[in-house]
Amino acid sequence: AQSVTQLDSQVPVFEEAPVELRCNYSSSVSVYLFWYVQYPNQGLQLLLKYLSGSTLVKGINGFEAEFNKSQTSFHLRKPSVHISDTAEYFCAVSDRGYQKVTFGTGTKLQVIP
């Protein structure tokens, strides 16, 4: 069975500061990993995904994430955040060959002016 742990439920950060949102996963097979973002009153939008290949994945809005198999982590980073990055961020995992995507509990990123 697959699971995702996002240890930080809320992360406040000042504008233009760097941020890292942590994600750890567990799965018994090869996985796909995702970060989704949910802006207020909107649905989930794919930020980036790791399917295979390079462990450093770049996504939209200047975000990137690094897949670390030995640490079973997929942390999300941005070197300089903007007010518009205020949203909830969900890490997710899916076993290859299966349709089900399992989400973490989410991390609320609050960017402080």
Partner 1 sequence: EPEVTQTPSHQVTQMGQEVILRCVPISNHLYFYWYRQILGQKVEFLVSFYNNEISEKSEIFDDQFSVERPDGSNFTLKIRSTKLEDSAMYFCASSGRDREANEKLFFGSGTQLSVL
Q: What is the DSSP string of 31-87?
A: EEEEEEEE-TTS-EEEEEEE-SS-SEEE-GGG-EEEEETTTTEEEEEESS--GGG-E
Q: Which of 24, 27, 94, 107 binds partner 1 (CB under 8 A)?
A: 94
Tell whether residue 102 is a contact of partner 1 (CB under 8 A). yes
Q: Which of 28, 54, 70, 99 binds partner 1 (CB under 8 A)?
A: 99
3-state SS, residue 8: coil
Give the C-alpha separation, 97 to 31, whole Å. 9
Per CB under 8 A, the list member of 90, 107, 109, 111 interacting with partner 1 is 90
Phi, psi at 71, each rounded to 5°: -100, 5
**Residues contacting partner 1: total by CB under 8 A:** 24
Interacting residue with partner 1 among 30, 84, 105, 112 (CB under 8 A): 105
Which residues in the 11-70 window bind partner 1 by CB under 8 A?
A: 32, 36, 41-46, 49, 51
Measured from the CB atom, the residue of 30 and 80 that comes closer to partner 1 is 30
Q: Which residue, 90, 93, 74, is CA-closest to 24?
A: 74
Question: Could you list the residues that contact partner 1 (CB under 8 A)?
Answer: 32, 36, 41-46, 49, 51, 90, 92, 94, 96-106
